[in-house]
Amino acid sequence: MKTEASHTILAAKQLSIGYKTKKAEMVIASNINFELQKGQLIGLVGANGIGKSTLLRTLIQVQPELSGSISLNGKDLKTTSTLELAKQLSIVLTEPLISKNLSVFELVALGRHPYTNWIGNLTEVDIAIINKSLDLIKIVDLKDKKCYELSDGQLQKVMIARALAQDTDVIILDEPTSHLDMYHKAYILKLLQRLTKDTGKTILFSSHEIDLAIQLCDTMIVMQKEKVVCNQPCQLISEGIFETLFPKDLIVFDEKTGSFRVTK
């Protein structure tokens, strides 16, 4: 990349998200503005039901935005074709795989689909990229295993490797740490952080691990009922954003340690 200085990869302007039915619009969140820079790890946090998944689903164009715009590499998503988008944005979702009978290599190889020919033949370049992705995630030894033989943590890594093999500027992950134990939660998020440093990709993930996200993310998007804020974690702490995230009757945010504590 020529421009060493930070440049915006993914941006939302006056974005309003929700569901549209024939009769009415159900707005879940509105007035969302953020600019995500190249090579950053961004955590998206907020209480259950606040619209994190809806925001991610809108960003990956599974559902349309109600108003406002999303731009990827300076181009409005509305004018980006599915195939163009596939070369710029890859995803890791919470939904279970339809078929777990694929081998790890085959699954990661599916990430090359936007680049392969009509029948999906892998070139040497494709195979090199697949192997590099497996190597980056350190799962080369799983290569020939079937997906049904893997643990949740391993499967999550494989899905991340698949997204890497898609060779996109942005990777979006929906709750990559759910179903994982504490160690693997930290492992996956740490892995994402390393990937942003090693590959210069922009990685956006939603999570309930606010403590971990505060420690690892370059930027955080905090969704609240009234507003959606996007800033560096330390800024967000000093602005007192996290205190207002949840009702105060059970847990309180400790500014000094940057974590939540159960009230005695």
Residues that bind other proteins (CB under 8 A): 60-62, 82-83, 85-87, 89-91, 93, 95, 97-99, 101-103, 105-107, 110-111, 113-114, 116, 118-120, 122, 127, 143-144, 166
Specify the residue, 62 or 234, whose C-beta has the smaller distance to other proteins. Answer: 62
Q: Is 16 helix (H, G, I), strand (E, B) or coil?
A: strand
Q: Is 205 helix (H, G, I), strand (E, B) or coil?
A: strand
Specify the residue, 28 or 109, whose C-beta has the smaller distance to other proteins. Answer: 109
Shortest Å distance, C-beta 77 to other proteins: 13
Residue 217 near residue 233 (C-beta atoms within 8 A) = yes
Specify the residue, 80 or 236, whose C-beta has the smaller distance to other proteins. Answer: 80
Classify residue 156 as exposed, middle or buried by CB count within 10 Å of its CB (0-12, 13-18, 19+).
Answer: buried
Q: Which two tokens stand for residue 84?
A: 């163009």
Angle at 112 between CA 107 and CA 114, to 5 degrees: 130
Closest CA to 199 of 189, 209, 191: 191
Shortest Å distance, C-beta 251 to other proteins: 33
Shortest Å distance, C-beta 242 to other proteins: 31
Residues comprising the chain, all counted: 264
Q: Which two tokens stand for residue 244?
A: 């207002």
Residue 170's φ and ψ, nearest 5 degrees, are -125, 140
Specify the residue, 82 or 263, whose C-beta has the smaller distance to other proteins. Answer: 82
Shortest Å distance, C-beta 116 to other proteins: 7
Shortest Å distance, C-beta 29 to other proteins: 20
What's CA 103's distance to the chain center, in Å?
Answer: 24
Shortest Å distance, C-beta 142 to other proteins: 11
Shortest Å distance, C-beta 134 to other proteins: 9
Specify the residue, 107 or 223, whose C-beta has the smaller distance to other proteins. Answer: 107
Specify the residue, 103 or 244, whose C-beta has the smaller distance to other proteins. Answer: 103
Separation between Cα atoms, residue 191 and residue 41, nearest integer Å: 11
How far apart are the two ends of the chain, measured CA to CA in Å? 52
Specify the residue, 96 or 247, whose C-beta has the smaller distance to other proteins. Answer: 96
Residue 252 near residue 261 (C-beta atoms within 8 A) = yes
Q: Which two tokens stand for residue 224?
A: 């609240």
